[in-house]
Amino acid sequence: MASTTQAATFSFVQETLLFYLNGKRVELLASEIDPNQTLAEFVRGRGLSGTKIGCSEGGCGACTVMISSWVPETNAVEHRSVAACLLPLAYVDHMLVTTVEGIAPAIGMHPIQQHIAAKHGTQCGYCTPGVVMSVYSTAMRNPSLSMSDVEQCLDGNLCRCTGYRSILEAARSIAVDYTPSSDGKLSKAAAVTPVCARTFVQNAVTFPDELRQPLRPLRLIGKSAAWYRPVALSELLDLKCAVPNAEVVAGKHSFPEHALEKPQVISGNTEIGYQARYHPRPPGSYQSFVSTTAIPELKAVKWTEQGVSVGAGTTINGLIKTLKNPSPSIGTPNVHQQEGFSAICHLLQYFANNQVRDMGTIGGSLVTCDPLSDLYPALIAMNSVVRLASKAGQRELLLDDFVLGENKTALKPDEVVMSVFIPFSQENEFVETFKESKRRVDAQAMVNGGFRARLQQREGKWCVEKCVLAVGALGSRAGLRMKSTESFLEGKEISLETLSSTSAVMQEELKASVVHSRGAAAYRVSVACSMLCRFFASIAAKKGITDVAERLHSALPDYSHPVHTGTQDYADPSPGSSVGSPVPHMAAEKHAKGTAEFVADIPIPQGCLYAAYTLSKRAHARILRIDKSTALAVPGVVAVIDASDIPGINLLGSIATDEEVLASKEVVFYAQPVAIVVAESHHAAHTAALQVNVTYEDLASIQTIEEAVASNSFLCEEKLLEKGNANDVFKSWPADQIVSGTIRSGGQEHFYIEPQAALVVPSSGNYLVRVTSQNPSKMQRAVASVLGIPANRVESRMERIGGGFGGKQDRPQFLAAACALASHITERPVKMVLERDQDMQITGQRHEFKTDYKVAYSRDGTIEAVSLEMYSNGGCSLDLSPAVMEVAMFAFDCCYRFPAIRITGKCCRTHRVSCTAYRGFGKPQAMVVTEGVIDRVARACGIAVQNVRDANVLRMGDKLTDGTPVEEQFFACWEPLRQKFAQKQKEVLQFNSENIYRKRGVSLVPSRNNIGFEADCLNQGGCIVNVYLDGTVFVSHGGSEMGQGLSTKVAQVTADALHIPLSLVFVGATATDRVPNTTATAASTGTDLNAGAALDAATKLRARLDAVADEAGIDRADWNKVVSEAYGRRVWLSEIGHTVFEKFAYDWHTKVGRSTLYHIWGAALAVVELDVLTGHSRTLSVDVIQDLGRSVNPAIDVGQVEGGIMQGIGLYTLEEFSWAKDGHLRTRNVSTYKIPTHDDTPTEMNVSLLKSSRSALGVHGQKSPSEVGVQLSACVLSAIKDAVYASCPSNTTHIQIDTPATCEKIRAACPSHF
């Protein structure tokens, strides 16, 4: 019993959770919910699977929903877009929750959904519902939004497929300033009527009267957690004073003793939800949460003549809105008064993402006191004051004094942050805020800052009277004041000399403060100094200090959000033919409405269990003991399985079976699966998986290529590829015309938005396997092998996957086998869905490459001989590493005429997860080497890099390394862009002559792609086509639909061959009992193999039906009548199709064969703008001319090109792995691994498909677009290099920038100005 002095009484009168879900009332008893459950988990459990889970961090946008609540102060409904994967279910009490399923009419689609679907704004469709809901909720909040507003609202929505251009073009059609003339050819062809948001927002949401009633205190006591929602500040303070053993009485109810164990105050749950995800409490511990969402005092906004006080419960978006809209009660503030407010808003637009800004609050950010906080530097610069409240009263502190250290504040245990007061800026006071991060939007700061200076005029010169320089993400505390620099600057004139001397002082102060453990210390210091330059530039521009303004004009902060545009050009389809028509993806409407079913969405069979991996905590070690006892004691756990439980073979693989499903005696990479926990719930399985205790004996670990080479650790024999005699050339060539060096290209995570998942259902010794896989038959064979049963007892079926890019080609076999093993042992259905961080650790990545090169060249830039030693980090097993290396070796010559080439390729064995297939399959790595060699020769010769390209580019009659000739299609791609390059180059040179701190670069690169597997047996495809009596047609092929539009193209080819409308054709799921021995949808073969098989089947069917029509005297065009007649004549209305490629594969022993079935040519021209002070770049334009033969579907093909380009931009400039010394991957979710967002899309993206091309070997003359875009994006990397060279014209030496060319690497390559 607690002492009476500690006891507190609360009036918690509501003990059920009440909210509306898509207009339907939901009321839950406390016993029916778990306060730890998220909103996403709940709605998905209700069958609303349009709300996807992609990251569980609130960073991918797939789970976006809208929540609406009544605001008594404004007598209005407030709409917010939120990340449902972070939001606790209990948070939405007395709110209206709207998911993607809830916005469409009973029949048809919402205008946003319609435009997304019709304008090709979806490919795999996994991210699409989240995109729709982000745009919808933003429109509901602001019906008068502009096109720029629409684009900015998508900063928290990731897409790995489309390249974003089509999404942005479709979404902005609801904007007030939208005009159809801004659309490209594809959107115009969709002919969708634009609908302004102002039109559909009216009466779009019916807010229930029940939810308008005053809120009551809420108390929900669950088995493992408690949730409290006080409605007054006094109640919150009572809870803060409560102790774990206090007896707390609410009415007639008593809280259990553990109910208030260290209660955590919840505002938006953006930080606590993240921490709970990665630092879960041990099983059996109890948590208490206190929500502040209903406390009016914490949401109060009070304007005075001095400034504004904003309640700590105000969201970040709410703060932005407040600062942009001063209360009429104080009149209209002067421009100078809003200087600081504008600066704060500029910074906060880059605070996380729109969903987090709509959830996260001022108080949550201040109490967390993260040194990386974006809020602190801005508020400290403004001399903001924080108000704290406790039962004893209130007190105020300068925010700068509130911070005591890293994640440490002056907040007492019994206090809460009540509000923050932000003063107006004064006359002659200037404020700027800054943020630099790995990615411009939705990324933690590498360094940020808030600078304020008050000027006074002395002897006609403007001098600094007082200043505050607060820098964040650099030191050990949030918003670190540069006090020495402030003291030095005060009293000094705003001049270039002052900037130089102050920068020197600041640099020393920063060096003494920087936290080195966060990495990139030198970069952080350099960028922090550049913020001072920008500050001076801003002040000089505003005050008209001419000499400073003119010198620094290109250093001014850039807050612009240009609207993205693009054009498309392609051959118009032949009248009456489905082939060549830019029809939308066949599942586009399902994607947009959220009804497309993915593996994780499949309704759970009765008695279904959930499985989770226990992952190793060593990179290389012997397993001495696996202790399952603690895990088995976790409630809900059914079984813990290890390698000894496998009835079949514990080895799987790609080229060879050399990797264990579960580590038996030795782990060979960090996070290797060691055990499988099977439980009654997903949460229980993952909780218990952490409780499996494994005892290890550490062994020596090899992590890098250098370590592998030193240890002679390789996966396979060395490969050798030669053309001419490079060794002889080097022997005779002048030494001063030979250069050598090393080029590195980093790995890349596939980052499909849909994590890998599996569902296995047993039935009388048979198994139905549903896996997120590009290779259904591989899954079938893996399950059969591990279970020790015949393949005919396993059916592998898949309808769609949410992106693959090679990552779901072979690696999912391990997940399929693990899930099947759990099902086999428990004799129950089992579902297994990987968390994002697990997926990234165990499913493999793109190969990291290191290439040592030597080049002989002539003075005019002609390359005479090249010798390469290529090394890849293959990881712990063979996988597909040899094939990736072989493709890279053949891809090196690209579109250049190198007369003598000698390439050796070695695949290193290391103790990392096995690297695997990835879109481009070695060609992107080779492209880096090719263009790197071209660049090196250009610098050695002292001539422009484009001139070296011109000197070495292919000419008609030339042959490639494999002996195949160049085709005229290449020149049709190259020559028009070569002419455009000349004009772009003039514009770039003009810009560079006028700007010091911003430089532009331009580059044109050629591209050549291959198609087909090296193993001839894989170059075959199968299909079945059934015709039904109502005239409809069913098709099932052997490929995997992963967003690339394969099934749409198959349907188009089938309809064309049968001479029927496309609407009559339906393409069903791929299943091994329909089409056996399927080939992986990979190597750019999907369309040619599967549409080729469909063409074969449909052609034979059509011939059979034409014969019937002719015999019966029926018009062949009367489809239904012909079908009926055929059935009456007992003609079989089904056909199997099969197609094979002609044999072409290169034999590495005899050196005979080709590297590809056919060549796919292209070229791309990029212009970028580089911020020399920070190393950040923006792609201004990309122009592409691509040879895709006779495109089956130009809309899909253009989307594939654009998506590949964005994936390549990520590879070459942004996406970076960080590996710890012990072998674990640090960058394993959206918070630490950054893929491109819509903001990284080229401002102008123009894609043209050759109109006169036709492949002799592709289906209907088509060529595959699947991988071409990745290599084309090398133009952006080369343009960045061009801009770097422009930043230091006096430096004529070569600058090597390894990929990814991150802002840190680029900044290091640029000259230092301070």
What distance in Å separates the CA atoms of residue 825 and residue 829, rounded to the nearest whole number?
Answer: 10
Q: With left for phi above 0 and alpha for psi between -120 and 50, is residue 692 left, alpha or beta?
A: beta
Strands laid side by side in the 666-667 sheet: 666-667, 621-627, 693-698
pLDDT at 495 over 90: yes
- Mean confidence (pLDDT) of the chain: 94
What distance in Å separates the CA atoms of residue 363 and residue 1146, rounded to the nearest whole number?
Answer: 64
Q: pLDDT tens digit string along 845-877?
A: 999 999 999 999 999 999 999 999 999 999 999
Q: pLDDT tens digit string along 1010-1049?
A: 999 999 999 999 999 999 999 999 999 999 999 999 999 9
Q: pLDDT tens digit string along 174-205?
A: 999 999 988 999 999 998 998 999 999 988 89
Contact of 377 with 288, CB cutoff 8 Å: no
pLDDT of the residue at 284: 58
pLDDT of the residue at 1141: 96
Q: What is the CA radius of gyration of the chain?
A: 32
What distance in Å separates the CA atoms of residue 929 and residue 741, rounded to the nearest whole number?
Answer: 11
Q: pLDDT tens digit string along 597-631?
A: 999 999 999 999 999 999 999 999 999 999 999 99
pLDDT at 271 over 60: no
Burial class (CB in 10 A: 0-12, 13-18, 19+), 1032: middle
pLDDT at 252 over 50: no
Give backbone dihedrals phi and psi of 184, rounded to 5 degrees, phi first. Answer: -85, 180
Q: Is the peptide bond before 194 cis (omega within 30 degrees of 0)?
A: no
pLDDT at 249 over 90: no
How many degrees, rounded to 5, is the angle at CA 759 between CA 1046 and CA 38? 100
Which of 815, 407, 406 is closest to 613 using CA atoms?
815
What distance in Å separates the CA atoms of residue 811 and residue 798, rounded to the nearest whole number?
Answer: 16
Least confident of 15-24, 265-274, 808-817: 265-274
Q: What is the dihedral of CA 53, 59, 63, 66, to 10 degrees?
A: 160
Q: pLDDT tens digit string along 925-964?
A: 999 999 999 999 999 999 999 999 999 999 999 999 888 9
pLDDT at 3 over 50: no
What distance in Å separates the CA atoms of residue 1135 and residue 1026, rounded to the nearest whole number?
Answer: 7
pLDDT of the residue at 259: 36
pLDDT of the residue at 1032: 98
Give residue for tokens 């514009």. 987
How many degrees, rounded to 5, is the angle at CA 1239 between CA 1164 and CA 600? 100
pLDDT at 1272 over 90: yes
Of the residues 235, 436, 1216, 1267, only one is catalytic, namely 1267
What distance in Å separates the CA atoms of residue 513 and residue 392, rounded to the nearest whole number?
Answer: 37
The mean pLDDT value for 892-902 works out to 97
Q: Which two tokens stand for residue 1286?
A: 């422009």
Q: pLDDT tens digit string along 323-382?
A: 999 998 888 888 899 999 999 999 999 999 999 999 999 999 999 999 999 999 999 999
Partners of 807 in the β-ladder: none
Q: pLDDT tens digit string along 395-433?
A: 999 999 999 999 999 999 889 999 999 999 999 999 999
Q: pLDDT tens digit string along 650-692?
A: 999 999 999 999 999 999 999 999 999 999 999 999 999 999 9
What distance in Å separates the CA atoms of residue 521 and residue 516, rounded to the nearest whole number?
Answer: 6
3-state class (DSSP) for residue 1209: helix
Burial class (CB in 10 A: 0-12, 13-18, 19+), 1148: middle
Which of 1289, 1309, 1288, 1290 is closest to 1298 using CA atoms?
1309
pLDDT of the residue at 1017: 95
Q: How confident is the model at residue 12 (pLDDT cuts 50, 70, 90)?
A: low
- E strands, 842-986, are 848-857, 863-875, 900-909
DSSP 634: S
CA 455 to chain centre: 44
Contact of 773 with 779, CB cutoff 8 Å: yes
pLDDT of the residue at 923: 98
Give backbone dihedrals phi and psi of 882, rounded to 5 degrees, phi first. Answer: -60, -40
Which of 1207, 270, 1225 is closest to 837 using CA atoms?
1225
Which of 117, 107, 47 is closest to 592 using CA atoms?
117
What distance in Å separates the CA atoms of residue 1109 and residue 1104, rounded to the nearest whole number?
Answer: 9
pLDDT at 722 over 80: yes
Neighbours of 1313 (CB within 10 A): 18
Active site residue 848: no
Q: What is the DSSP string of 964-1009?
A: PBP-HHHHHHHHHHHHHHHHHHHHHHHHHHH-SSEEEEEEEEEEEE
Q: What is the DSSP string of 1063-1094?
A: GGEEE--EETTTS-SPPPS-TT-HIIIIIHHH
3-state class (DSSP) for residue 836: helix
Give residue for tokens 């180059």. 985
pLDDT of the residue at 1235: 98
